[in-house]
Amino acid sequence: MQTRKLGTLEVSPLGLGCMGMSFSFGVVHDDNEMIALMHKAVDMGITFFDTAEVYGPFTNEILVGKALSPIRDKVVIATKFGFLCEPGQKPGAGPLSSHPDHIKAVCEASLKRLQIDTIDLFYQHRVDPNVPIEDVAGAVKDLIAEGKVKHFGLSEAGAQTIRRAHAVQPVAALQSEYSLWHRKPEQEIIPTLEELGIGFVPFSPLGKGFLTGKMDENTQLGPKDFRSTLPRFSPESRKANQAFVDMLGIIAAEKQATIAQIALAWLLAQKPWIVPIPGTTKLHRLEENMGALAVELTPADLTEINEAVSKIPVEGDRYPEHIEKMTGL
């Protein structure tokens, strides 16, 4: 399989987001099944796996550690710091914290949960307005010097924050939401990353499941499914946004591909240093996502998609206001 580079970090062109294996969609999954899925992903050529201490909290890192530490030499593991977490706490409910001492404590704890000696990519999960980004970058720089971290990343950070951090410690990758359904990074973020030689890791590349074509206004979201709190996933918004999926369905039929494969192939075609991390808990979805690597979109196809998308407004904000405020975009 071909590889892509995030800064100088070499990874598979698609990664695997592991968050949903432990929480967020209101379904409890069997650990052994999820471990088997991660092993299958490695067999299929995926080398890049994404987790965070806040996923659970803590349980997702433990699961990823069980699965991947025995095959450490075959994988690249990314995790994140940036929240104050307590066991049993609602993920992301704790306050932000990127104080240097806290970053170093999180690193030690994550290493133990992941059962590894070095974190390949250590992201700041959200920008902490109370801690200068130079101090954050400096703390990670210290961890890199100590051999506990290999590469530094940011998540949902704005262009100026990226520049300031990069001046202290080179940033290998920015992780932010990016898809045909959310294209705001094209305005400032992607040009900044290209200028600085930083890779881009889009999360929610399939619009949190909506760009698979498997959801509509009648889909029932359980009370523990975090999407039930998102304005874009209200029944009214899903009904309005169905036109978006229908448009992708026409192009998918032309390419003899699925809607999800078109959405991922579009992302892969944007830049050679973009590495989406679709998450799944199902083998057939993993296989479908990997099939996107074989979908070739010509310049004419990309123009057709862009023109079609520009005519369809997306209904609903991606997050409630209090969560959106935590981003630096």
Strand, coil or helix: 239: helix
Reported as half-sphere exposure (CB side, CA atoms, 13 A), residue 31 has a value of 10
- Cα–Cα distance list, 273 to 174, 179, 248, 317 (Å): 11, 15, 24, 27
Task: Report phi then psi at 199, rounded to 5.
Answer: -80, 165
Burial label, 23 (beta-carbon count in 10 A; 0-12, 13-18, 19+) = buried
Element (H, E) at 249: helix 235-255
Report the C-alpha gap between 38 and 287 in whole angstroms.
12
How is residue 90 annotated by DSSP? P
- By DSSP bridging, strand 76-81 and strand 48-50 are parallel
Return the amino acid letter for 20: G
b/e string for 186-200 if b means 16 or more Cβ within 10 A? eeebbebbeebebbb
DSSP three-state, residue 58: coil
Q: Does the CA dihedral 9-15-18-19 come out positive or negative? A: positive
d(CA 193, CA 185): 10
> Is residue 55 among the annotated active site residues?
yes
Contacts for 45 with CB less than 8 Å, ≥ 6 apart: 1, 12, 290
How many residues in total does the chain contain? 329
Q: Which among 55, 123, 178, 319 is annotated as catalytic?
A: 55
Active site amino acids: 55
